[in-house]
């Protein structure tokens, strides 16, 4: 249990740092979703299933989708580090 | 015995019902959307006025939501202070209702949620519930700040949003600290527990975090950088509403926290210092501002600093002074923003404006005299109440605050007189004539000017009821007894 | 009315353009804030929180509200007004975003079709997501979950097919209708509670047998309203950001 929690904490921290440092906006959004997903697993382990469900549905799912859609709309949806490309 | 008055939910429930229905109405009857919103505001205002008169005649009322009694459930607590600001918010929303029809339905919806959220902010007696209503009002303000469109408007709104969200996060941490330390969120319950459990560094940190969070809306000094930009870029009506009424609601909530949950000298000192910094920074920036709109944005920071200084003086005298200053500013500043909407050009190009629009210039002079504090006008009495309360206090920092306020008054008088002398100067023949405020600006400004004159005539009864209001709002243990000891 | 849409510009994450001073200042500020918060939280004894209100609620919740799930008893019973407020925050945010998006003009092309495999998978997923979402909402008072979580899943159910074939229209009119009337229903249920001498949000109907589907009075109805409102709001918001075609 403690090992699992430590592992999740490390994943969360790493993903959080990646969110800030990654130069590609889309990748940063994905890293942000990973933070939420790991957090929801942590909530489930801590026996807070209600919060885990909310975090998984809203934090990991919807907010990531919304961020990605916004990136697409303002033309920052790119697969490389450089110039903005076309969508997809 | 405090009467249970379930009806005090209406100032929140009616606007929210209107807000939920308005997008539907706007889709099928775009012509009527604006009128429908105004009707909702009027109905809610009438109900609030009835509630206020009942509170005024028979004392504060309590409602425990869902029938769950005080510390377990959420309570609404309606006293004179709360009802006064609920009514002021209704009046402000009605007066500064956005123009246009169905195409502006988004702004109408946001105005109604702002009304519901702001009323809840004033009425709620629960720390977390207050935060929820604050968020409603905050999100609605972010949207309204962007409602004018344009690059500047969007940029201002997004910066406002980022600062506001950061503040809200810190406020939430503060609330968590309070709950972690005491195990309750009810303000009345906290009033009993605070002297024992929150009178420590943890409690002070919680207060500071709440001060940062709610200070964003109350334009307190380190977190008010959004104000000049938003007031410059948003429609004048939105600026008038945010600076006039919504900021006052936030600072009234801070007063409630201070009185009920954080009755310690260090918390008062923190509020006083932010107030002093706000007055100094605001007036100096107003003096250097490039145009009238910016000058009024900065001066609104200074005026809210004065309210904060007054609220930090312990006892009813400080509360009375703060409420008087807040009310006076809530009448004067929106009128200024309306007048200045067309006069955004630098002062030199406004020469001779008084000749083209004598009524607007005359009103400007009247408002200026009141905000400077020339005797028969209400602004004088508000400042006088503050000085009296400051002198009666035994706290030397408050005396310094009083000195700062007097110095700020001189600076304020200087830049207002500079503007007035530009209006009444004779314009050079070749210069283009300055724009004139239209009826859509002059109407609300004249209404507020009339209100100011009425307040001047009824100074004595007004002062008496503000004192009664302050006595009622300042008694933390009496409030706790009213909310918690019901029916025992 | 003249409106300008902010021009597209490439913004890079902070620090990329070499503003190291600002980065260092931010890092220092965050470290200080972190240290402060850590110290504050450490001063609260861990595991011995004063359960002043908490314990009383734990003891009474299922008896007083009839809800098996204590989280729901708190969310809709003791703190029902907070929940109404939270729904309203979401509504306000969606309204503000919708306003800005509408004035900025609809997004032009929605992008090409995602292809046969994704499209078929999305449509096959649709009924399952619908059932899961509905289950989570309807059983909110019995098992973990409720209106917010289920609503988010419902929104995903409606949005996934749109993502797969962007050309298919999204019915904003129906979404607005559901959203508005679901919100109205929450408040009306609250106001009905005041009829019999109660207060706002006093529970209606009987509490029923704990654990039964029809129990906990009006709480499941409130959750249904929240689920529909959250679902339609989020789906509508995603569809407007996506810039899909509007069905007249």
pLDDT tens for residues B384-409?
Answer: 999 999 998 888 889 999 999 999 99
Look at residue B41 in the predicted model and tell me its pLDDT.
Answer: 94
Q: How far is residue C188's CA from residue C91's CA, in Å, rounded to a whole number?
A: 17
Q: Are C22 and C111 within one domain?
A: no
Q: Answer yes or no: do C153 and A57 touch at CB < 8 A.
A: yes
Å from C143 to nearest chain B CA?
22
Domain membership flag for residue C53 = no
DSSP 3-state of B124? strand
Q: How far is residue B144's CA from residue B97's CA, in Å, rounded to a whole number?
A: 11
Domain membership flag for residue C54 = no
Task: Report pLDDT digits (tens) over B268-324.
Answer: 999 999 999 999 999 999 999 888 889 999 999 999 999 999 999 988 999 999 999
CA B133, distance to chain mean position in Å, is 15
Domain membership flag for residue C174 = yes
Å from C209 to nearest chain A CA?
22
Look at residue B67 in the predicted model and tell me its pLDDT.
Answer: 82
Across B153-175, average pLDDT = 93
Structure confidence at residue A80 as a pLDDT band (50, 70, 90): low
Look at residue C106 in the predicted model and tell me its pLDDT.
Answer: 55
Binding-face residues of C in 159-198 toward B, CB within 8 A: 173, 176-177, 179-181, 183-184, 187-188, 190-191, 193-194, 198
Q: Are C20 and C95 within one domain?
A: no
Q: Are B275 and B312 in contact (CB under 8 A)?
A: yes
Question: C179: nearest CA in chain B?
Answer: B20
Q: Does C199 touch chain B (CB under 8 A)?
A: yes
Structure confidence at residue C8 as a pLDDT band (50, 70, 90): very low
Q: State both tokens at B419.
A: 């503007």
Q: What pTM did the predictor assign?
A: 0.91
> Mean of the per-residue pLDDT values for chain B?
89
Q: Radius of gyration (Cα) for chain C, nearest Å?
A: 23
Look at residue B181 in the predicted model and tell me its pLDDT.
Answer: 86
Q: Are C81 and B119 in contact (CB under 8 A)?
A: no
Between chain A and chain C, are at least 3 CB pairs below 8 A?
yes
Q: Are C137 and C232 within one domain?
A: yes
How many other C-beta atoms lie within 10 A of the C-beta of residue C248?
7
Q: State both tokens at B432.
A: 């283009």
Residue of A23, A49, A50 best to disrupt the C interface, most CBs of C under 10 A = A50
Q: State both tokens at B488.
A: 């025992």
Look at residue B132 in the predicted model and tell me its pLDDT.
Answer: 96
Say if residue C1's pLDDT is above 80.
no
Q: Are B355 and B427 in contact (CB under 8 A)?
A: yes
Across B357-365, average pLDDT = 89
Say if residue C17's pLDDT is above 60.
no
Q: Are B16 and C183 in contact (CB under 8 A)?
A: yes
Q: Does B116 touch chain C (CB under 8 A)?
A: yes
Q: Domain count for chain C, please give it.
A: 2
Task: Report pLDDT digits (tens) over C123-182.
Answer: 899 999 999 999 999 888 888 888 889 999 999 898 888 888 877 778 888 888 888 899
Question: C243: nearest CA in chain A?
Answer: A73
Look at residue C5 in the predicted model and tell me its pLDDT.
Answer: 43
Look at residue B486 in the predicted model and tell me its pLDDT.
Answer: 60
Say if residue A85's pLDDT is above 60.
no
Q: Answer yes or no: do C241 and A73 touch at CB < 8 A.
A: yes
Say if residue B26's pLDDT is above 90.
no
> Mean of the per-residue pLDDT values for chain C?
81
Å from A36 to nearest chain C CA?
14
Q: Are C191 and C226 within one domain?
A: yes
Å from A49 to nearest chain C CA?
6
Q: How far is residue C4's CA from residue B175's CA, in Å, rounded to a whole number?
A: 40
Q: Does C6 touch chain B (CB under 8 A)?
A: yes
Domain membership flag for residue C52 = no
Q: Are C37 and C126 within one domain?
A: no
Look at residue C6 in the predicted model and tell me its pLDDT.
Answer: 46
Domain of residue C105, residue span: 67-242
Q: Are C192 and C106 within one domain?
A: yes
Q: Are C150 and C211 within one domain?
A: yes
Angle between helices B358-372 and B396-424 (to 10 degrees): 160
Q: Does C58 touch chain B (CB under 8 A)?
A: no
**DSSP letters for B169-235:** HHHHHHHHHHHHHHS--BHHHHHHHHHHHTSSHHHHHHHHHHHHHHHTTTT-GGG-THHHHHHHHS-
Say if residue C12's pLDDT is above 70.
no
Say if residue B416's pLDDT is above 60.
yes
Structure confidence at residue C105 as a pLDDT band (50, 70, 90): low
Domain membership flag for residue C91 = yes
Percent of chain B with pLDDT over 90: 56
Q: Are C126 and C171 within one domain?
A: yes
Q: Does B222 touch chain C (CB under 8 A)?
A: no
Question: B130: nearest CA in chain C?
Answer: C82
Say if residue B267's pLDDT is above 70.
yes
Q: Are B11 and B51 in contact (CB under 8 A)?
A: yes
Q: State both tokens at C103.
A: 């004035």
Percent of chain B with pLDDT over 70: 99
Q: Answer yes or no: do C56 and B71 touch at CB < 8 A.
A: yes
Domain boundaries, chain A: 2-73
Question: C114: nearest CA in chain A?
Answer: A88
Q: Answer yes or no: do A62 and C69 touch at CB < 8 A.
A: no
Q: Are C83 and C187 within one domain?
A: yes
Across A23-43, average pLDDT = 92
**DSSP letters for C183-224:** HHHHHHHHHHTTTTT--TTPPPS---STTSSS-STTHHHHHH
Q: Which residues pair with B186 in a beta bridge?
A: B126
Spatial CA neighbour of B319 closest among B397, B260, B242, B399: B260
Q: Answer yes or no: do A23 and C153 touch at CB < 8 A.
A: no
C85 to chain B: which residues are within 8 Å by CB? 117, 120, 129, 132-133, 135-136
List CB contacts of A50: < 8 A, sequence separation 6 or more.
C69, C71, C72, C144, C145, C146, C149
Size of interface B-C (CB pairs under 8 A): 192
Look at residue B310 in the predicted model and tell me its pLDDT.
Answer: 94
Look at residue B160 in the predicted model and tell me its pLDDT.
Answer: 94
Across B411-434, average pLDDT = 83
Look at residue B274 in the predicted model and tell me its pLDDT.
Answer: 94
Which stretches of B58-138 are assigned E, i.e. beta strand? 61-64, 75-78
Residue C36 has phi, psi (to 5 degrees) of -60, -50
Q: How far is residue C14's CA from residue C21's CA, in Å, rounded to a whole number?
A: 11
Q: Are C185 and C84 within one domain?
A: yes
Across B407-435, average pLDDT = 85
Domain membership flag for residue C20 = yes
Task: Report pLDDT digits (tens) over C209-228.
Answer: 777 777 778 888 888 999 99
**DSSP letters for chain A:** -HHHHHHHHHHHHHHHHHHHH-SSHHHHHHHHHHHHHHHHHHHHHTT-HHHHHHIIIIIIIIHHHHHHHHHHHTT---SSSSS-----
Say if residue B131's pLDDT is above 60.
yes
Look at residue C168 in the predicted model and tell me its pLDDT.
Answer: 77
Collect all residues from A whose CB is shorter than 8 A from any CB in C: 20-23, 25, 28, 49-50, 52-54, 57-58, 61-62, 65-66, 69-70, 72-76, 83-84, 87-88
Binding-face residues of C in 157-186 toward A, CB within 8 A: 159
Look at residue A86 in the predicted model and tell me its pLDDT.
Answer: 44
C174 to chain B: which residues are within 8 Å by CB? none
Closest partner residue to C194 (CB to CB) among B6, B17, B110 is: B6
Say if residue B235's pLDDT is above 70.
yes
C242 to chain A: which residues are within 8 Å by CB? 69, 72
Question: Which chains have at least 3 CB atom pairs separated by less than 8 Å from chain A?
Answer: C
Q: How far is residue B1's CA from residue B408's CA, in Å, rounded to a whole number?
A: 45
Q: Does C238 touch chain A (CB under 8 A)?
A: yes
Percent of chain C with pLDDT over 70: 86
Q: Answer yes or no: do C40 and B63 touch at CB < 8 A.
A: no
């Amino acid at each position: 249990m403690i090992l699992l929690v430590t592992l999740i904490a490390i994943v969360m921290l790493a993903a959080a740092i990646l969110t800030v440092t990654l130069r590609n906006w889309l990748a940063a959004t994905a890293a942000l979703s990973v933070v939420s997903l790991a957090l929801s697993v942590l909530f489930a382990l801590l026996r807070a299933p209600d919060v885990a469900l909310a975090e998984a549905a809203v934090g990991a799912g919807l907010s990531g989708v919304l961020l990605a859609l916004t990136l697409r709309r303002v033309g920052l949806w790119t697969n490389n580090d450089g110039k903005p490309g076309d969508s997809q | 015995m405090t009467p249970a008055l379930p009806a005090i939910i209406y100032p929140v429930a009616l606007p929210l019902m209107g807000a939920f229905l308005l997008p539907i109405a706007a889709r099928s009857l775009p012509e009527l959307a604006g009128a429908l919103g105004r009707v909702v505001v009027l109905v809610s205002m009438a109900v609030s006025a009835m509630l206020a008169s009942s509170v005024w005649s028979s004392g504060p009322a309590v409602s425990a939501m869902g029938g769950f009694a005080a510390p377990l459930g959420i309570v609404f607590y309606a006293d004179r202070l709360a009802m006064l600001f609920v009514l002021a918010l209704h009046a402000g929303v009605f007066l500064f209702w956005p123009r246009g029809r169905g195409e502006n339905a988004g702004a109408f919806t946001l105005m109604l949620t702002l009304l519901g959220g702001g009323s809840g902010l004033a009425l709620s007696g629960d720390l977390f519930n207050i935060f929820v209503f604050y968020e409603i009002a905050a999100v609605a303000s972010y949207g309204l700040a962007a409602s004018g469109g344009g690059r500047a408007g969007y940029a201002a709104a997004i910066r406002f949003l980022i600062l506001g969200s950061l503040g809200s996060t810190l406020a939430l941490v503060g609330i968590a600290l309070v709950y972690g330390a005491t195990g309750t969120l009810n303000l009345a319950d906290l009033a009993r527990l605070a002297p024992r459990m929150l009178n420590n560094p943890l409690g002070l940190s919680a207060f500071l975090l709440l001060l940062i969070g709610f200070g964003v809306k109350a334009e307190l000094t380190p977190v008010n950088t959004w104000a000049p930009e938003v007031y410059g870029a948003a429609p004048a009506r939105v600026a008038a509403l945010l600076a006039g009424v919504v900021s006052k609601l936030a600072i009234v909530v801070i007063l409630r926290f201070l009185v009920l949950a954080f009755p310690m000298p260090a918390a008062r000192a923190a509020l006083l210092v932010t107030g002093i910094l706000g007055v100094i920074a605001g007036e100096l920036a107003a003096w250097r501002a490039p145009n009238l709109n910016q000058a009024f944005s900065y001066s609104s920071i200074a005026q809210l600093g004065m309210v904060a200084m007054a609220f930090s003086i312990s006892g009813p005298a400080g509360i009375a002074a703060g409420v008087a200053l807040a009310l006076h500013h809530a009448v004067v500043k929106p009128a200024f923003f309306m007048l200045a909407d067309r006069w955004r050009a630098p002062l030199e190009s406004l020469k001779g404006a008084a000749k083209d629009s004598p009524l607007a210039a005359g009103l400007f002079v009247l408002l200026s005299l009141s905000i400077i504090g020339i005797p028969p006008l209400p602004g004088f009495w508000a400042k006088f109440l503050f000085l009296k309360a400051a002198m009666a206090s035994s706290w030397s920092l408050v005396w310094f605050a009083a000195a700062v306020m007097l110095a700020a008054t001189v600076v304020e008088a200087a830049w207002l007189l500079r503007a007035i002398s530009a209006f009444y100067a004779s314009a050079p023949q070749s210069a283009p004539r300055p724009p004139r405020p239209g009826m859509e600006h002059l109407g609300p400004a004249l209404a507020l000017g009339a209100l100011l004159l009425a307040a001047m005539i009824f100074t004595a009864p007004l002062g008496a009821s503000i004192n009664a209001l302050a006595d009622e709002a300042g008694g933390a243990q009496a409030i706790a007894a009213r909310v918690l000891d019901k029916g025992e | 009315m003249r409106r300008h849409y902010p021009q597209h510009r490439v913004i890079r994450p902070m620090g990329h353009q070499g503003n190291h001073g600002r980065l260092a200042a931010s890092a220092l500020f965050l470290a200080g804030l972190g240290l402060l918060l850590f110290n504050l939280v450490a001063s609260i004894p861990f595991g011995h929180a004063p359960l002043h209100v908490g314990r009383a609620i734990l003891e009474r919740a299922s008896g007083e509200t009839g809800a098996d799930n204590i989280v729901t008893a708190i969310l809709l019973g003791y703190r029902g007004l907070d929940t109404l407020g939270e729904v309203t925050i979401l509504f306000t945010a969606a309204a503000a975003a919708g306003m800005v998006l509408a004035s900025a003009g609809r997004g032009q092309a929605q992008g090409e079709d995602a292809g046969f495999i994704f499209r078929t998978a999305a449509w096959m997923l649709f009924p399952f997501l619908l059932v899961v979402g509905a289950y989570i909402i309807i059983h909110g008072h019995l098992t973990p979950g409720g209106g917010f979580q289920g609503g988010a899943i419902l929104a995903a159910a409606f949005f996934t097919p749109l993502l797969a074939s962007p050309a298919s229209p999204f019915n904003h009119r129906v979404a607005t209708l559901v959203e508005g009337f679901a919100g109205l229903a929450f408040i009306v249920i609250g106001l009905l509670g005041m009829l019999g001498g109660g207060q706002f949000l006093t529970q209606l109907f009987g509490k029923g047998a704990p654990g039964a589907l029809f129990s906990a009075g009006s709480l499941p109805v409130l959750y249904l309203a929240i689920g529909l409102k959250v679902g339609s709001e989020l789906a509508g918001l995603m569809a407007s950001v996506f810039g899909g075609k509007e069905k007249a």
